[in-house]
Amino acid sequence: GVRCFGSPRVLVEPDPAAGFAVMKMRNPPVNSLSLEFLTEMLISLEKLESDKAFHAIIITSDCPGIFSAGLDLTEMCGRDPTHYAEYWKAVQELWLRFYLSHLVVISAINGVSPAGGCLLALSSDYRVLADNPKYAIGLNETLLGIVAPFWFKDTLVNTVGHRVAERALQLGLLFPPAEALRVGVVDQVVPEDQVQSAAQSVLAQWLAVPGHARQLTKTLMRKPTADRLLKERDADIQNFVRFISRDAIQKALRAYLEKLKQKKS
Amino acid sequence: GVRCFGSPRVLVEPDPAAGFAVMKMRNPPVNSLSLEFLTEMLISLEKLESDKAFHAIIITSDCPGIFSAGLDLTEMCGRDPTHYAEYWKAVQELWLRFYLSHLVVISAINGVSPAGGCLLALSSDYRVLADNPKYAIGLNETLLGIVAPFWFKDTLVNTVGHRVAERALQLGLLFPPAEALRVGVVDQVVPEDQVQSAAQSVLAQWLAVPGHARQLTKTLMRKPTADRLLKERDADIQNFVRFISRDAIQKALRAYLEKLKQKKS
Amino acid sequence: GVRCFGSPRVLVEPDPAAGFAVMKMRNPPVNSLSLEFLTEMLISLEKLESDKAFHAIIITSDCPGIFSAGLDLTEMCGRDPTHYAEYWKAVQELWLRFYLSHLVVISAINGVSPAGGCLLALSSDYRVLADNPKYAIGLNETLLGIVAPFWFKDTLVNTVGHRVAERALQLGLLFPPAEALRVGVVDQVVPEDQVQSAAQSVLAQWLAVPGHARQLTKTLMRKPTADRLLKERDADIQNFVRFISRDAIQKALRAYLEKLKQKKS
């Protein structure tokens, strides 16, 4: 039998014989990237990275219909600057660690993934999306009146090119599966019940490559982009704290959160 | 009724209620980008940018069958270096101002648009092209024996990627509508009588996005490219003046202008 | 009659009246890029570049079924550091000279072209590939446990974009013709017996462009990429020598060469 580990919010299903683990995000209802959840994701990733039995992970969601709703607005509203700074550092860390992981990271996207949820998927090496018209994916920050940071932008440009990114980011486009595939936001679209099996099939191809050469090649491709953030990490944090602390932004976030609450009840 | 303003060569049809204006280029016969015409374009743009009622413009041509023929060769032939420098600075300014405008800029391309005409279209946020096989678009400078400056090149690379740009620029390719759409020089091709309505439909999507976030995102995408010119603007002017002042180039331009004259008569 | 020149391993068939020469690689059995072969390629290129009758070359293979197998592993195995350094400098030189040649360079790819063979093709201005399912093309270094150097990577990114390059390089993908065309590794796929004639047809379009403007435009597009290597050419050589001198790498290369020998006998 397979021993599962992980944490309350991150269910890890290891298959050491096959060299990979499935990392299931379980932060209901929408896998918001709260500080606690981010921290658990990073700890789970570290555990797998430091265990030589594992060469790959498949990230997927345990919450029906949603991959991840992205950043947790409650971490960005009504708190103090120290908290905002701590939160943003964790968001940076999530991207840096997944984008540069020496493990092969495959996203099995089984739900909608806006904003930070899309970023997480873009940080993978390969993206399989379930063919459900509701499962749109994209960096839709502008629609909330905010701006994706430059490293979100860089990651999208690296994936779909400058022109598609320019239009998608300005309009806050969420791409339904066929469109996501056409522009390259995802690599493969499969029937909803085949997302896991498709991710595992793809994984076989990645695991067949000599690991050391593959990792160095991944670094060759991605380090320049990661370095851009590393060089101005503190400035990026200060920038976020300053932006999010503005009265107008706090007011807009409160209104948005209020609307979400009313929707639920 | 709609009050029109503008200048002799730039007809501005404002629709403040809808938040946009149509800017019609009327410098017959081919909307050559003469110094006077460039200046009027820039003044019209500034007026609209400084009026809070306007969030967008649609650029189109009032000259049948031609969007813009690009730079005005008579500004580059038989004049003194001071004039060449002044002219080139205005060309730079046109690009910088349109490429970075906080307004949404949609090109409704209702005619052929070679060289500088193509650059103007590439500076927009979105391009709708009339489906007429004569309406080719591209940076065809090499065919005239001249070289597109680096910021023309950067703008094309940002739009269609490095490889398509490399081939198109070397061969001076003018893309007919279907091809222009396929490689991404334009975003949409529509029947000729629907160019304006298509541009307005697209505009609705752009205007639905919170303006401030959209503008910051546009800057995020485009400022690095604009900064490259801003950093060496004077050198670029000197470079142009030196190149255009060469005997061989002046001779080639005179011969070309002579040929155009004979064609007309 | 046409006078042929060249060297034992590089057959040059000049057509000065038409302005081009065909450069046939003849280093059997697989056109491995040995030090001697590289040197002869460079000498042939220089000869053609310094003769004003020639504006273009078509590179193709005289070895059935193979364009070029890429770097010669026997140059990288069981030799001393001085030899490795000399070899790597010649490989750099091949890329620099072909990538920046003022001649139009068309690859008529009439066989499989992995690794360095693919790099040679990518250094051309245009690639025509014979439509034979065996004629795969790609940078498959990772599959041999090695890493493509950054300038191989830059050349691929310039051709197919960041995302396709990232996946192709990590997986060591060799693209069969239809796939190679789809992702842009090659520009055209034609029936096997039409590779030469297709290359010559394409050439006509390139030769119709004023040469000086075309060359400056090529430099504008490619110099920044070449400069990246030129700036750290020695470091890149040291890096190669250090990597290839490792016991583990030498052992792997010996094992691989042994396997190749056994295959043949």
B 63-102 residues inside an 8 A Cβ radius of A: none
Q: Is C206 in contact with B166 (Cβ distance < 8 A)? A: no
Size of interface A-B (CB pairs under 8 A): 59
Q: Which of C85, C86, C87, C94 is nearest to C242 (CA)?
A: C85
| Residue C253 pLDDT | 86
* A139 neighbors A168 (Cβ within 8 angstroms): yes
Contact A158 C166 (CB under 8 A): yes
Nearest CB to C141: which of A205, A213, A222?
A213
Residue of A19, A111, A116, A138 marked active site: A116
pLDDT at C249: 87
Asked if B161 lies within 8 A of A161 by C-beta distance, the reply is: yes
What are chain A's partners, defined as 3 or more CB pairs within 8 angstroms? B, C
Distances (CA, A) of A139 to A146, A213, B4: 11, 32, 39
Q: Give the 3-state secondary structure of B156-221.
A: HHHHHCHHHHHHHHHHCCCECHHHHHHHCCCCEEECHHHHHHHHHHHHHHHHCCCHHHHHHHHHHH
Peptide bond preceding A29 in cis form (omega within 30 of 0):
yes
Which conformational region is residue B246 in: left (phi greater than 0), alpha (psi within -120 to 50 degrees), or beta?
Answer: beta
> What residues form DSSP beta bridges with B151?
none
| Substitution target from C207, C217, C225 for chain B, most B beta carbons within 10 A | C217
Where residue C107 falls among pLDDT bands split at 50, 70, 90? very high
| The pLDDT of residue A191 | 98
Residue pair A188/A201 in contact (Cβ under 8 Å)? The answer is: no
Edge to edge, what strands does the sheet with B65-66 contain?
A: B65-66, B111-114, B137-138
* Cβ-defined contact of A148 to B222 (cutoff 8 Å): no
- Residue A109 near residue A128 (C-beta atoms within 8 A): yes
- Is B184 an interface residue toward A (CB < 8 Å)? yes
Q: For residue range B116-175, what is the model confidence (pLDDT) as tens digits?
A: 999 999 999 999 999 999 999 999 999 988 899 999 999 999 999 999 999 999 999 999
**What is the distance in angstroms between the Cα of C224 and the nearest Cα belonging to chain B?**
11
Structure confidence at residue C137 (pLDDT): 98
Cβ within 8 Å of C, A 149-178: 157-161
Share of chain C above pLDDT 70, in %: 98
Q: Does C4 touch chain B (CB under 8 A)?
A: no
How distant is the Cα of A104 from the closest Cα of chain C, in angstroms? 10
**Would you call B62 an interface residue with chain C, using a CB distance cutoff of 8 Å?**
no
**Residue A73, number of CB atoms within 10 A of its CB:** 17
d(CA A70, CA C234): 45
Residues B130, B190 contacting (CB under 8 angstroms): yes
Asked if A141 and A115 touch (Cβ cutoff 8 Å), the reply is yes
Q: Can you tell me whether residue A128 is helix, strand or coil?
A: strand
Of B146, B150, B167, the CB nearest to C220: B150
d(CA C240, CA C233): 11
Tell me how far apart the alpha carbons of residues C239 and B201 are, in angstroms, rounded to a whole number.
Answer: 56
Q: What is the pLDDT of residue B1?
A: 41
- Say whether C125 and B170 touch across the interface (CB within 8 A): yes
Among chain A residues, the shortest Cα distance to C139 is held by: A217
Residue A137 has pLDDT above 70, yes or no: yes
**Residue type at B24 in one-letter notation:** K
Chains in contact with B via at least 3 Cβ–Cβ pairs below 8 Å: A, C
* CB-based contact A206 C166, cutoff 8 Å: no
| DSSP summary character for residue A87 | H
Write the burial class of residue A234 (CB in 10 Å: 0-12 exposed, 13-18 middle, 19+ buried): exposed
- Exposed/middle/buried for A83, CB within 10 Å: 0-12, 13-18, 19+? middle
pLDDT in tens, chain B (265 residues): 455 677 889 999 999 999 999 999 999 999 999 999 999 999 999 999 999 999 999 999 999 999 999 999 999 999 999 999 999 999 999 999 999 999 999 999 999 999 999 999 999 999 999 999 999 999 999 998 889 999 999 999 999 999 999 999 999 999 999 999 999 999 999 999 999 999 999 999 999 999 999 999 999 999 999 999 999 999 999 999 999 999 988 998 898 889 888 887 7
CB contact under 8 A, B220 and A169: yes
Interchain pair C147, A213: CB under 8 A: yes
Q: Which of C220, C222, C225 to mutate to test the interface with B (most CBs of B within 10 A)?
A: C220
Looking at residue A144, its amino acid is: L
- Chain C hits for A221, CB-CB cut-off 8 Å, are 153, 162, 165-166, 169-170
CA atoms of A253 and A257, how far apart (whole Å): 6
Rounded alpha-carbon distances, angstroms, from residue A33 to A103, A113, A120, A214, B102: 21, 12, 10, 29, 32
The neighbouring-strand residues paired with A59 are A23, A107
Q: A159, C162: Cβ pair inside 8 Å?
A: yes
Across A132-195, the runs of DSSP E, i.e. the strands, are 137-138, 188-190
Q: Which chain C residues are closer than 8 Å to B145 by Cβ?
A: 210, 212-213
| Side-chain half-sphere exposure of A88, counting CA atoms within 13 A | 27
What does the pLDDT look like over A186-209, one tens digit per residue? 999 999 999 999 999 999 999 999
Which is catalytic among the residues A38, A45, A48, A71?
A: A71
Domains detected in chain C: 5-211 (3.90.226.10)
Q: How far apart are CA C60 and CA C65, in angstroms?
A: 11
Amino acid of residue B213: A
pLDDT at A7 (0 to 100): 84
- Does A222 reach chain C within 8 Å, measured CB to CB? yes
Whether B184 and chain C come into contact, CB under 8 Å, resolves to: no
Count of B-C CB contacts under 8 Å: 58
Q: State ipTM.
A: 0.95
> In DSSP terms, which residues pair with C107 in a beta bridge?
C59, C127
Q: What is the pLDDT of residue C1?
A: 41
A140 annotated active-site: yes
* pLDDT, mean over chain C: 95
At residue C4, the 3 state secondary structure works out as coil
Residue of B nearest to A162 (CA): B158
Q: Which residue, chain included where needed, has tokens 């919170």?
A: B210
Per-residue tokens: C50: 């310094």
Residue in B145, B153, B172 closest to C221 by CB: B153
Among all residues of chain C, which has the CA nearest to that of B162?
A: C158
Mean pLDDT of chain A: 95
Looking at the DSSP bridge assignments, the partners of residue C48 are none
| CB neighbour list of residue A160: distance below 8 Å, 6 or more residues apart | A168, A183, A184, A185, C163
pLDDT value for A6: 73
Contact B45, B104 (CB under 8 A): no
A43 at C interface, C-beta within 8 A: no
Q: E strand or H helix at B108, and its extent?
A: strand B104-109
Q: Which residue of C has its CA nearest to A102?
A: C170
DSSP secondary structure letter of residue A175: B
Check whether C2 has a pLDDT greater than 70. Answer: no
Long-range (24+ apart) CB contacts under 8 A made by B206-209 are B206/A170, B206/A171, B206/B56, B206/B104, B206/B106, B206/B125, B206/B126, B207/B19, B207/B20, B207/B55, B207/B56, B207/B104, B209/A142, B209/A143, B209/A170, B209/A171, B209/A172
Contacts of C153 in chain A (CB under 8 A): 220-221
Among C147, C148, C163, the residue with its CB nearest the CB of A184 is C163
pLDDT tens, C189-198?
A: 999 999 999 9
The shortest CB-CB distance from C171 to any of A205, A216, A222 is to: A205
**Chain A environment of C145 (Cβ under 8 Å):** 210, 212-213
C29 upstream amide cis, omega within 30 of 0: yes
